Amino acid sequence: MSRLFVCVLISVVFAYDARAFIVPLFDNGQVQPGCYNPPEIPHNLTTRPQRWRDASAGPPLVTRQSGKAWSGWQNVEYLFTFGDSYTSTSFNIHGPQPNPQNPLGNPAYPGATSADGPNYVDFLTTTYNQSFIRTFNLGYGGATIDPSLVGSPYGLIVQSFRQQVQEEFIPTYATNSGVEWSGSNSLFTDVILSYTQRNSTLNFLLIKSYENLVHQLYAAGARNFLFLNVPPIDRSPGTLARDKAAQQSMAGYIGEFNFRLILLVYNLAVNYPATTVWLFDTNWLFSRLLDNGPLAFRETSGYANLTDYCVAYQHGTPTLTSLDPSCGVPVNAYLWLNDLHPTYPVHNLIASEIVQQITR
């Protein structure tokens, strides 16, 4: 069986009035595929740094429609994120909810991520925020879009995007939640890896399912959506280890998926004029970094190795700048932590670019 990794990032941000939150009993921390307990964050990384940006880099803007419900990034109070290990911070919806001490609720900031440090959701919430944002991160390591189409290789415990919407977001936060929310000041985000045979028919079905779930979020009141497309996983170490034909086939599949995602976003904007919709071109951003090198962006200027990962780092490291002699350079000088997941500097770049896109 050949495996295909597709990352879909959907973003949806909601604005809510903060009222009483239901705080169910905390059962246990989740250990999610591809997510590791990250190193301790030095205090200064979580406070607002200057906004880093290479002025020559064009905006990865594909689509934007402004609906009435959007009153600006500076007014976002609630962020709902969906996805897989690129997104997950291992939030447990039964644990402590987002609060002033931890805007992501649980586990301790930045959560267990796949980035060996804060991921783009963490950076959006605590670094590039222009307001206090409570983030409900429903992303789950290993998630696919819809298990009836493509099951996760990690089994039934994995919460797919469908389950994140239908079994978590809707029952816990949309209805009976004790949290009164409206569509304004809200945003949604998602990254999904789907493991499957490359097949155009299946791609179509996946996007239909994705679209159907977005419609369910709309029906629940969501109005502001940020979609992130699939990065060039065909250029990740896991795929580079395979033959040329496999790489080209993966690139073609991702290209087709991303094209269909454009249609999804376009249709959403046309059919629901009340929505504010962005499509963030993660694929463009990664490709530019890989083509032009680390200096293409300030956030990635510390990278020394864009092509490979170091085995000693692949399951995470004790600090943000850990150095194992067998790796030559510190962990944060590697773009890739392992065969599929990038390290935190590129998540910083993603978040920085997202905020520039949605504030322009």
Ligand X SMILES: *[C@@H]1O[C@H](CO)[C@@H](O)[C@H](O)[C@H]1NC(C)=O
Binding site for ligand X (CB under 6 A): 42, 44, 103, 126, 129-132, 197, 199, 201-202, 205, 305, 307-308, 310, 327
Around 311, how many Cα atoms within 13 Å sit in the side-chain half-sphere? Answer: 1
Whether the CB-CB separation of 299 and 52 falls below 8 Å is answered with yes
Q: Could you tell me the smallest distance in angstroms from the CB atom of residue 126 to ligand X? A: 4
Between residues 202 and 246, which has the closer beta carbon with respect to ligand X? 202
**Six-digit token string for 256:** 């087709």
Give the nearest distance from C-beta 240 to ligand X in angstroms.
Answer: 11
CA distance 315 to 303: 19
Of 167 and 308, nearer to ligand X (C-beta) is 308
Nearest CB to ligand X, comparing residues 43 and 360: 43
- Least distance (Å) between residue 215 CB and ligand X: 21
Closer to ligand X by Cβ: residue 23 or 311: 311
| DSSP structure class, residue 336 | B
Give me 188's structure tokens: 């949604």
Residue 279 CB, nearest approach to ligand X (Å): 25
Question: Which of 76/165 has CB closer to ligand X?
Answer: 76
CB of 227 to ligand X, least distance (A): 23
Quick check: 160 and 137 in contact, CB under 8 A?
no
State phi, psi for 131 to the nearest 5 degrees.
Answer: -160, 175
Element (H, E) at 251: helix 244-271
Tell me which residue of 60, 87, 68 sits closest to 188, measured CA to CA: 87
Sign of torsion over alpha carbons 329, 331, 337, 341: negative
Cβ 327 to ligand X shortest distance, Å: 5
Task: Give 28 or 44: the residue with its C-beta nearer to ligand X.
Answer: 44
* Spatial distance between the Cα atoms of 288 and 282, rounded to a whole number of angstroms: 10
